[in-house]
A and B are shown apart, each in its own frame.
Chain A
Amino acid sequence: MADYDEENGRLTVKLVYYGPAMSGKTTNLMRLHDLLNPQLKGEIMTLETQNDRTLFFDLLPLGFRTPSGLLVKFKLFTVPGQVAHDATRKAVLSRADGVVFVADSQRSQGLNNSEAFQNLADNIGRVGLDFDTLPLVIQFNKRDLPDIYSEDELRERWAKMHWPLLFAVALIGEGVQETLRALMAQVYPVLDRQYGLQARHGMGREEFAAAIVGA
């Protein structure tokens, strides 16, 4: 449900980093801010944290202009992972065009991951989005830690799901761009269908992702 402002030639796309507490959502945003070099890049806006934990959300604005002159603006949000902040999570998730679910790879976090994923599924329904069609990618973060689920285990477990599975060490920026690129690939067809990115603005799938994440 991107926000298309025809008058000012602006398309705003909302992407949300969801997941259990302390799984590395904010770290993903911080590394993206450091690593990405799109036409337009804003500062990370951090809205109140407590002991390194997000209380409201973080926001990273990114953007580019299409050859047609359309400003495509991305707003990357994180949600607070703690169970208590469900109302904020729902408000941030509202009107999202795509979601990255950041999971913690450690075996000890298995239950937290599934609870947070169930919460995502529930909240997607509650805010009026469609769980089956909403662009979504899964990132297993903290691959550098000991006692983690192996990639084979995770692939086997998620084999029946149709969502792309990515692996990352967000702290050193490994996998964060790939994750965003995978999400952009999911988001593009939806936006193209609705706003004619290719036909009217000359933006193909590849160019679209490259404009933000790079080639």
Chain B
Amino acid sequence: MSGHDMQARNDHFDRDFTLTELLAGMSREKLARSLEVLLGPGFRLLSATGEVLLGTAEPLPAACRCELRLDIEPVGYLEDSAAAQPQVQACAHLIELVMKSAARYLMASHLHEENVNESYQRLLLQHEALLKSELRYKQLAEELEARVQAQVKTIKQAERQLYQAEKMASVGQLAAGVAHEINNPMGFIRSNLGTAKAYVQSFSRLAPLVKSGACYQLAAAWKADDMDFVLEDFASLLDESITGADRVARIVADLKGFSNIDRTEEEVININDCITSVCNVAASRIPPGVHLVTELEQIPPLRCRPGHLNQVFLNLLLNAVQAVGEQGEIRMRTESGEGEILVHVTDTGAGITEENLPRIFEPFFTTREVGQGTGLGLTVSRDIAQAHGGVMEVESREGAGSHFTVHLPLDGRKH
């Protein structure tokens, strides 16, 4: 049998153990001393192959020899030349008991070791598999993260585009109103200027008479051309034109509030001024039968983004105009609350149905005809209020009208 085979066989729990192995776990000196007491000095313990393990090294003459059996085979011998046979046999039995106990222990411990080794090998394999799957999950997670980022980027871009679209829609409505509002005074100013030009021609015709000093002819010509009326009308058409020009100037001034819609800098302003300019800008959109009432209380100035808030108030006002139709009342009211400014927009219009009420702030929710609204007006308005640290509330009853309240905290913008 080769050394390698020997090695392999030695690892197994079920191999045959030698006497040396069986005695390895105990003190040989103690065993020797006990045997000496029991048998006297002339004894020796031999392995199966004749190697002396305990006692005298020299062969004993006329010795009594007993087998030390484990299982069915002798694994060693006990020799003694002095003691009687029964004593030697009894000692051999004692040693056999010790060997048997040692064999049990060796088998159990080797088996246990085999089991532990096998479990360890299995755990190593499992560990390796786990490492692999962990790596795979890590890669997966990273990939997922990258995809989420890309998706978020796409969504944000789409959102920006939609908000831009909503802003453009507001600006478009605004532009239509402003055009009408400016066109009207410009019309009569243009007409007045035409009349004024004719009046100037009348005065030029009288000029030679004035220069020649022909008083009689001058008076006749003055009367013939009805210059008394011309003078009177000239003054009043100038007054009217000045009023018209002022109106245009005021509209342009109000419009400036909206021109900085994209400006991100904050300003400290009075919200009442915002409400006033929103009402002016939207004036042309209000039908004659609709009564617009503003109740502006004394309120503290607010640090805010006026362009954004104007968009909110205009949105609410235009919604109210749409809700009331040809007849009704719209009330815009500001008040000073506890640490906040409240803006109320109330109308006596159609109101919002109970089922629609929870959904009005949802993006793209609209009850209007396709093309009439983006469904983003209230969403954007609420977002702007929230960006100012505030909230927007709504109460409404179908057929009775709606009441929107914007809460704007005075210290709402935390930076």
Q: Could you say which interface size class chain B belongs to?
A: 20 to 34
CB closest chain-A residue, reference B16 = A12
Is B13 at the interface (CB under 8 A from chain A)? yes
Contact assessment for A73 and B72 in the assembled complex, using a CB-CB cutoff below 8 Å: yes
Flag if B100 contacts A77 (CB, 8 Å): no
Partner of A7 from the list B1, B9, B71, B100 (CB cut-off 8 Å) is B1
Q: List residues of B whose CB falls within 8 A of some A CB.
A: 1, 9, 12-16, 70-73, 100, 103-104, 107-108, 111, 114-115, 118-119
Pairwise interchain contact A47-B118, C-beta atoms closer than 8 A:
no
> Which positions 29-43 of chain A face chain B at CB distance < 8 Å?
40-43
A206 CB–B CB distance under 8 Å: no
**Cβ of A14 under 8 Å from chain B:** yes
Contact of B72 among A5, A63, A95 (CB under 8 A): A63
| Choice from B12, B104, B118, B119 contacting A95 with Cβ under 8 Å | B12
Q: Which A residues are within 8 Å of any B CB, using their own CB?
A: 3, 5-7, 10, 12, 14, 40-43, 45, 47-48, 56-57, 59, 61-63, 71, 73, 75, 77, 87-88, 90-92, 94-95
Q: How far is the CA of A135 from the CA of B107 in the complex (A)?
A: 25
Q: Do residues A45 and B103 form an inter-chain contact, with CB atoms below 8 A? A: yes
Q: Are A71 and B73 in contact (CB under 8 A)?
A: yes
- The answer to whether A88 and B115 touch (CB under 8 A), given A6-B1, A7-B1, A45-B100, is yes
Closest chain A residue to B113, Cβ basis: A91
Task: State the Cβ distance, B191 to closest chain A Cβ, in Å.
Answer: 107
CA A203 to CA B282, docked complex, whole Å: 120
Bound CA–CA A15/B187 (angstroms):
119
Query: How far apart are A66's CB and chain B's nearest CB, in angstroms?
Result: 14
- Chain B residue with minimal CB distance to A63? B72
CA distance A12 to B1 in the complex (A): 14
Closest to B114 in A: A91
Verify A48–B72 contact, CB threshold 8 A: no
- Contact (Cβ within 8 A) A88 B111: yes
Measured between alpha carbons, how far is A42 from B107 in the docked complex, in Å? 16
B residues within 8 A CB of A3?
Answer: 9, 15
Docked Cα-Cα span, A83 to B115, in Å, equals: 15
- The distance from the CB of B13 to the nearest CB of chain A, in whole angstroms, is 7
In the complex, are the beta carbons of A56 and B16 less than 8 A apart? Answer: no
In the complex formed, the residue of B with least CB distance to A40 is B72
Q: Which residue of B lies closest to A5 (CB)?
A: B1
Residues of A within 8 A of B16 (CB): 12
Q: Closest CB of chain B to A19's CB: distance in Å?
A: 19
